[in-house]
Amino acid sequence: MGVIYRHFLPETCYSCAYCNTHLATPAQILSKAFVAKNGRAYLFNTVINTSMGDEEERELNTGLHRVADVYCVGCLAKLGWKYLYAHDPSQKYKEGSIILEVILFLSLS
């Protein structure tokens, strides 16, 4: 495995709660109205400094989705998941978006 380079955001951002690796800016939030396994979660358009696990079909509150878990590249903590495919047409807007659990990230000033 090669060297992993972390990117840094020059403004207020969200970071990993365990290692402070930068993840996203507030501008990347699509919705704050989600609930995950550990409580509140935000839906992001894009995040940085993450890697994805294997794809799997998962039954979520809104139906069956193909997802991949999202991990911090700094400490390998599981932060949430990425929606790869939504079976329900009303959920297609989530495809390509990332859920991060609020308890697993911090807001930096």
Burial of residue 18, with CB atoms counted within 10 A of its CB: 0-12 exposed, 13-18 middle, 19 or more buried = middle
Per-residue pLDDT of 34-90, as tens digits, reads 998 889 999 999 999 999 999 999 998 888 999 999 999 999 999 999 999 999 999
3-class secondary-structure state, position 92: helix
Q: Is the model's pLDDT at 109 over the cut of 70? A: no
Closest CA to 78 of 106, 50, 48: 50
Tokens of residue 50, six digits: 């993450």
CATH of 14-107, one of 3.40.50.300, 3.50.50.60, 1.20.58.1610, 2.170.150.20: 2.170.150.20
φ, ψ of residue 26 to 5 degrees: the values are -60, -30
φ, ψ of residue 96 to 5 degrees: the values are 90, -10
Closest CA to 31 of 43, 22, 13: 43
3-class secondary-structure state, position 108: coil
Q: Is the model's pLDDT at 21 over the cut of 90? A: yes
Per-residue pLDDT of 31-50, as tens digits, reads 999 998 889 999 999 999 99
Backbone dihedral region of 22: left (phi > 0), alpha (psi from -120 to 50 degrees) or beta?
A: beta
**Which pLDDT value is given to residue 2?**
62
The domain spans of the chain are 14-107
Chain position carrying tokens 């991949």: 68
